[in-house]
Structure 1
């Protein structure tokens, strides 16, 4: 396995980091195989980058045959929108540029996001072809995500919003226009990528309505969406197993919810085979 550590430079920042976990090619195991890449955006309410949604998820993906990356993006009110979005676009561009070196199919780059990282990932899915990125010298062809995985994502700035995430993203007193611009269910189009999405009805931090609103918007736009909603499980479960268990909470291991990862692997296999899309 190769470990990659790349610093990303964008028009608004120069200190985001992309960590990569790259399976080495083997002369005995499909030496010419081009793999799916998954770029992970951990959560943290745009105030920090959560460890439990970073390396453990990357290693789980690597073990199942995907090349995995973790984006350590800029957070906090000092780095307002669209700083992190530009960093994610730069990460996708870098992975696509280095695809041959890292045994990646450049047309199979999946962006995955947890909680506020889900907002970041879905922002790229909504805006990759729009002035929000094109005006910052990004070519749409370079930064287009080919697929999207969202876990208990922050989506809406409306009645079901996670207010802390939007305060960190936009400042303490965002205008109605600013909030509208980052309420992602309102910006879905037919150019969004196929999406795998999951959440829990018991999430009392980021209400399940966030996921429902986004799934409904994708369906209305004619975009393929697989959505799994579990009846139990608190916010921030990540893999929902011992590898991402937070010792401060006794309810971080939920086998029924941990099933999401196998469901995602099934979705990825169908995606790789051209069934999803």
Structure 2
């Protein structure tokens, strides 16, 4: 057997060439060197929840055959970070336009991943919706209100690319779980307002949504039911996100509360909740306001469910069912 040795000088040249090629990449193609917080994953949530709910299982339904997808699409670039999303959609009939749903993951605004709701997106696509799972900047990279700005940009991307995926731009919903539910409610209740619009990434398109699905997301931070901001033992997830305690800058915590913006422009809203009251602080107040305004809403609650219930059986299917029935009620048939 013979071997070929590369001269040391040639080896150094190859290494130098690889380094130069890396540096020559455009900034938009490079991801920021940020340590990812992996404290909230589907498996870690399952391990914790299973102690009190031994019969549960992670929801992994079969991928519907007629569902197609496009993955890892950059929808907006923030500095060196190309924010990505995935699109799941059924084959549409010619000239048909389908309602769409943006799904927002949870994780305390600093952890979690858009892949956690791929099963829900796939099942929604099988029901005739275009479902989009999008990442957003977490608090380890950028604090409030960066995540809100990103998600509104994702909605603008959906409208800008409506023709490619047969999206009906008059029927777009935002669906979110936990911190994602808080973000979804905030995105929806601030329709048309300038506060969270940064005019980057498809600024000529609207970021308004026509329905909200809040799955165990807080509606009011400064609320008797809210547990966010209790830093007595550890710094709370929301304190990390806002960059200051609620006693220091309470105006930011109020500004990020969907309840603050409820009005006649608020779209129809579905609340799907666990039995953990602090996870939907402000829900009953918001429901009362919506009722006074004549805005349609629904409240669905699982009395025995842990907080991360939409990730697990037996709650995955009924969560999907509540979502589909609500969206068909407010959007009409596909």
Same fold (TM over 0.5): yes
SS at match of 1:150: strand
Q: Aligned residue for 1:149?
A: 213
What is the TM-score when the length of structure 2 is the normalising length? 0.69
Take 1:135 and 1:91, find their aligned partners in 2: how far apart are those partners? 13
Q: How far apart are 1:14 and its partner, in Å?
A: 4.0
Q: Aligned residue for 1:230?
A: 302
Q: Work out which of the residue numbers 264, 267, 270 in structure 1 matches 2:323.
A: 264
Distance 1:273 1:8, change over 3 A: closer
Distance 1:84 1:225, change over 3 A: same
SS at match of 1:101: helix
Q: Work out which of the residue numbers 166, 191, 203 in structure 1 matches 2:276.
A: 203
Contact 1:195/1:225 (8 A) holds in 2: yes
Deviates most, 137-146 or 79-88:
137-146
Q: Aligned residue for 2:258?
A: 184
Distance 1:15 1:89, change over 3 A: same
Take 2:115 and 2:150, find their aligned partners in 1: how far apart are those partners? 21
What is the TM-score when the length of structure 1 is the normalising length? 0.82
SS at match of 1:166: helix
- Structure 2: gaps of 5 or more residues: 1-67, 229-235
2:243 counterpart of 1:171: yes
Q: Aligned residue for 1:118?
A: 181
Q: How far apart are 1:147 and its partner, in Å?
A: 1.0
Number of residue pairs aligned between Structure 1 and Structure 2? 255
Q: Aligned residue for 1:93?
A: 156
Q: Aligned residue for 1:245?
A: none
Take 2:215 and 2:305, find their aligned partners in 1: how far apart are those partners? 12
Q: How far apart are 1:13 and its partner, in Å?
A: 7.6
Q: Work out which of the residue numbers 127, 133, 138 in structure 2 matches 1:64.
A: 127
Bigger CA radius of gyration: 2
Distance 1:213 1:78, change over 3 A: farther
Take 2:263 and 2:226, find their aligned partners in 1: how far apart are those partners? 21
Q: Work out which of the residue numbers 60, 70, 94 in structure 2 matches 1:31.
A: 94
Q: Work out which of the residue numbers 69, 73, 89 in structure 2 matches 1:6.
A: 73
SS at match of 1:231: coil
Q: How far apart are 1:67 and its partner, in Å?
A: 0.9
Contact 2:219/2:283 (8 A) holds in 1: yes
SS at match of 1:131: coil
SS at match of 2:103: strand
- Structure 1: gaps of 5 or more residues: 242-252
User: Deviations 1:110-141 (Å, cap 9, x if unpaired)?
Assistant: 11010100111111112232221346468696
Q: Aligned residue for 1:246?
A: none
Q: How far apart are 1:24 and its partner, in Å?
A: 3.0
Q: How far apart are 1:10 and its partner, in Å?
A: 6.0
Q: Work out which of the residue numbers 156, 164, 168 in structure 2 matches 1:105.
A: 168
SS at match of 2:196: helix
Contact 1:92/1:144 (8 A) holds in 2: yes
User: Deviations 1:22-70 (Å, cap 9, x if unpaired)?
Assistant: 2234xxxx33321111110011110112467421111111121111110
Contact 2:85/2:132 (8 A) holds in 1: yes
